[in-house]
Structure 1
Amino acid sequence: MTPGARLQAAIGVLDQWSAGVPVEQALTNWGRGARYAGSGDRAMVRDHVYDVLRARGSCAALGGGETGRALILGMLRLQGIDPAGLFTGAAHAPSALSDAEGVAGATPEAVADVPGWTVPLLHDRVGGDLPALLDTFRHRAPLYLRVNRRRSTRAVAIDRLSADGVEAIADPRVETALEVASGARQVKSSVAYAEGWVEPQDLSVQLALAAVDWPGGRILDYCAGGGGKALAISDACAAQVLAHDAAPRRMADLPLRAERAGVHIPILAPSQLASAGRFDAVLCDVPCSGSGTWRRDPEAKWRLTPTRLAELEQMQAAILDEAAPLVLPGGQLVYMTCSLFRRENEAQVDAFIARHAGWWLDRSGIDTPLSASDGFFHAVLRAPA
């Protein structure tokens, strides 16, 4: 595909998305009808679409509208590319610019590129650093890997990744973290990944997990999802780690991932919790707004509404209340979110303590995209002895 044809494909995907089709489904729909597109074409179309979603407000301002065509036009201008050489109508490229389109729209300096109602919530977190935080959301997030110490060391993993075309750099803030400097798309085809030496895991998550003093005995990952945190905890301590999720299908790949990592993580179905006993620690990485990961999943910020945020807050409180009885006396309830909003973090912790006599906050912390790669909150709550 020519560069212009790729842009036209991205326009079609964005028009589907604007009509309410989830972005991944819209990309799949295009891909099924584009058998001629190679892997490089598909990757570039995806990149164009996600570049727009990260900076949708700026793209709309510079392109003069919210259609897929206007958004792609604005994206090119935002990237400093003259669209006239690509909007030619030749070889499946977008048609030539009209006179009106030939004039750039308003400059995007005052555009937040997040839903306007979330700006005060973000300001409450970072204060005067808000412009810098908003700027991070316009850019692609770095890829981090976690080195599985049961399988390898960082030095060995770096060498093995390099042999497969992946340049990785050790991050000094946590001993398991590698930042992928180049070759990100080769990670999952690398020997290091296939043999369980590395797993994708964000730096902010690794920092939060390392900040928790995980006990021996038994630990339950209560909202396990794909199981990445359960795998990391298993690698970090000698405890028996078990996994549970209200939607067990989310854990479908966990047994294979655990085998690759050299650990065993039993899975508890919802019906098994009542007979599973209590745990020395229970981790609740709860559903949340995802506001700390908006440059990684930019579609999420445009899906979020005040109503949905309120629903998530109710869900978070309910999960904490459900998990608390699973903790042994004196044990830990570890609460985590990938949200920057105090309503989902400190306020939830304070409300839980108010509801549950004898519980107390041991420690808490948060990273933002300004201090790590994503925003991530953690709190360690202690049960009464």
Structure 2
Amino acid sequence: MINGLPYSFFKNCSGILLDYDGKTPFHLYLKKCFNAHKNWGSKDRKRYRDACYIYWRFALPRTNLDHSNIIQWLKNHYPIPQLQISNPYEPYETVLSGGIDTAALQKWYTTEPNIWIRINNGHEKTVKGYLEATAIRTIESKKKSLALPSQSNLNELIENGFAYIQDISSQLAMNFDNTLLQDAFYKGAAVWDCCSGSGGKSITLALNNEGIDLICSDIRQSILDNLLTRFTLLKIKPPAMFCTDLSIRTEDFDSVDIAIADLPCSGSGTWRRNPENIHFFDPKQIVVFAKQQILIVQNILPNIKSGGYLVYLTCSLFKEENEMNVAQLIEKFGLLFIDSCIVGGQSMGGDYLYRAILQKRLV
């Protein structure tokens, strides 16, 4: 027995970790592993999950590892991990966006994130009552946004439209108070969420700015179907929607006042939620994403009115995807720089997002 656990536990953990290839999210891979081992009870599954995520968060990105190395590491670090001597973000220190330091990233990365929910308008008492009845502790509260423990069962709240799940940083990124844009979301303003995904940011926009004419697009029809379901559950007026690949063509429709482009990126600002990703990340992908982002924005710009705004968003930590790309867009297309910032991160208990506000010159 090691730390009260049999050797077979550490051996099984090592097998789970070594067999994982990084091609699918680890939590989905882990479900398949559990389905293949029906004899593992709920306590076993929790231990395996905890041990694997401790490895992803605290072990250095793997190089030439084998069973014996992983087993020994887990013996030393499970269930109480010790910080690694080196910081996994040190190799990226010179390519990080301004205002981000590796010490803060290490603390952020090695802490399991909470679940953030936004309470739907008019359902504050219902949500509070549910959390009290189910003994789910509220860790932090910011107006209508609540941070809850990561394994909380919130199905009843979500399925009945009382609240929706969205990281606090994504919520804050859609708050334009005290920016030049705060008056641009007037009633009837045409706002295009160009890469909407399943609609979290669009929902927040709709709740924050009643009366805007919202348009959503994404490359995947299935994700737009999910977006429509979420709007319906929350009883919010559905946006206009269309499926398109903005990396290959420009859409032909009436120009919009504001385009919000949450662009495909490395996702490095969300690695705390999927800590396995840093172990498999190829730095060469940074330039690939940066070029794709420029191409997508190039195809968005013709649909923004003269004097209209582009909100450039990534969930990346890397300056090549962030401020360097913004500088390139300003130079190439003559855009006006309004503002930029890192949203969220360690201090806010959320992902790291980069947001820049640019304006098309009046013609």
TM range (shorter): 0.7 to 0.9
Q: Does the C-alpha gap of structure 1 residues 81 and 235 become closer, same or farther in structure 2, counting only changes over 3 Å? A: closer
Identity of aligned residues (%): 23
Q: Where in structure 2 are the equivalents of 1:155-234 lying within 5 Å? A: 156-172=126-142, 175-180=143-148, 182=149, 184-189=150-155, 191-211=156-176, 213=182, 215-216=185-186, 217-234=189-206
Deviation per residue, 1:350-370 (Å, 9 max, x gap): 11111112x212222113533
Does 2:333 match 1:362? no
The equivalent position to 2:298 in structure 1, one of 321, 324, 330, is 321
Find the residue that maps to 2:223 and give its secondary structure. Answer: helix
- Give the deviation of 1:296 after TM superposition: 1.0
Does 2:239 match 1:265? yes
Q: In structure 2, how many angstroms separate the alpha carbons of the residues matched to 1:382 and 1:278?
A: 14
**Contact 2:305 2:360 (C-alpha < 8 Å) held by counterparts:** yes
- Give the deviation of 1:80 after TM superposition: 6.2
Q: Where in structure 2 are the equivalents of 1:25-174 lying within 5 Å? A: 26-57=29-60, 66-68=65-67, 70-79=69-78, 109-114=84-89, 117-122=91-96, 125-127=99-101, 130-149=102-121, 151-153=122-124, 156-172=126-142
More helix by share: 1
Q: In structure 2, how many angstroms separate the alpha carbons of the residues matched to 1:122 and 1:235?
A: 33
- Give the deviation of 1:76 after TM superposition: 4.5
**Contact 2:51 2:78 (C-alpha < 8 Å) held by counterparts:** no
**Contact 1:14 1:67 (C-alpha < 8 Å) held by counterparts:** no
Name the residue aligned to 1:371: 347
- Give the deviation of 1:156 after TM superposition: 4.6
Find the residue that maps to 1:74 and give its secondary structure. Answer: helix
Letter paired with 1:186: S
- Give the deviation of 1:125 after TM superposition: 3.8
Q: In structure 2, how many angstroms separate the alpha carbons of the residues matched to 1:202 and 1:17?
A: 27
Which structure's relative contact order is higher, taking Cα pairs within 8 Å and 6+ residues apart?
A: 2
Q: In structure 1, how many angstroms separate the alpha carbons of the residues matched to 2:196 and 2:5?
A: 41
**Contact 1:13 1:26 (C-alpha < 8 Å) held by counterparts:** no
Letter paired with 2:206: S
Find the residue that maps to 2:100 and give its secondary structure. Answer: helix
Q: Does the C-alpha gap of structure 1 residues 170 and 51 become closer, same or farther in structure 2, counting only changes over 3 Å? A: closer
- Give the deviation of 1:311 after TM superposition: 0.3
Q: Does the C-alpha gap of structure 1 residues 69 and 136 become closer, same or farther in structure 2, counting only changes over 3 Å? A: farther
Q: Does the C-alpha gap of structure 1 residues 22 and 268 become closer, same or farther in structure 2, counting only changes over 3 Å? A: closer
Letter paired with 1:262: K
Q: In structure 1, how many angstroms separate the alpha carbons of the residues matched to 2:116 and 2:216?
A: 23
Letter paired with 1:247: R
Residue segments in structure 2 that go unaligned for 5+ positions in a row:
none
**Contact 1:292 1:340 (C-alpha < 8 Å) held by counterparts:** yes
Find the residue that maps to 1:344 and give its secondary structure. Answer: coil
Taking structure 2 as the reference length, the TM-score comes to 0.84
- Give the deviation of 1:298 after TM superposition: 1.1
Name the residue aligned to 1:286: 263
Does 2:26 match 1:23? yes
* Higher mean C-alpha displacement, 116-125 vs 212-221: 116-125
Find the residue that maps to 1:57 and give its secondary structure. Answer: coil
Name the residue aligned to 1:104: none
Find the residue that maps to 1:305 and give its secondary structure. Answer: coil
Q: In structure 2, how many angstroms separate the alpha carbons of the residues matched to 1:56 and 1:109?
A: 7
